[in-house]
Amino acid sequence: MFKKLDEEFDEMAADPARRRQGIARITLRRDVMCWCAVGMTLVALPFFFPNRSPAGGAAIGFAAAVQWMLLFKFESDLRLLRVVERLHKVGNDRAKS
């Protein structure tokens, strides 16, 4: 499963047009996931206080943690694509000189 996703990511990173689309798409996903993670964390906060801890706190805390991990994954993918984009631009500028 991960091998196929890695290959798709590699192909996207190698193609300039798909890379730009990927940067835009992952930026949107990252922004949405950030707001979801913040919202879920705010919902989970009352569950961490011992006197007001209703049932189900572990599940909500776990969901918030998973959303933060996905946010960090989107951010790392986005940084990698931006680095590839910069390197591609620098390589093209040097080739023109």
Taking the chain (97 residues) in consecutive chunks of 10 residues, what is each chunk's mean pLDDT?
Answer: 83 90 94 96 83 72 94 95 90 72
Helix (H, G, I), strand (E, B) or coil at 54: coil
Q: What is the pLDDT of residue 22?
A: 92
Is 40 among the domain residues? Answer: yes
Is 35 among the domain residues? Answer: yes
Query: 85 is in which domain, residue-wise?
Result: 17-48+57-92
Is 5 among the domain residues? Answer: no
This prediction's pTM = 0.80
Is 97 among the domain residues? Answer: no
Is 2 among the domain residues? Answer: no
Is 61 among the domain residues? Answer: yes
Is 3 among the domain residues? Answer: no
Domain count, the chain: 1
Instruction: Output Rg (C-alpha) for the chain, integer angstroms.
Output: 19
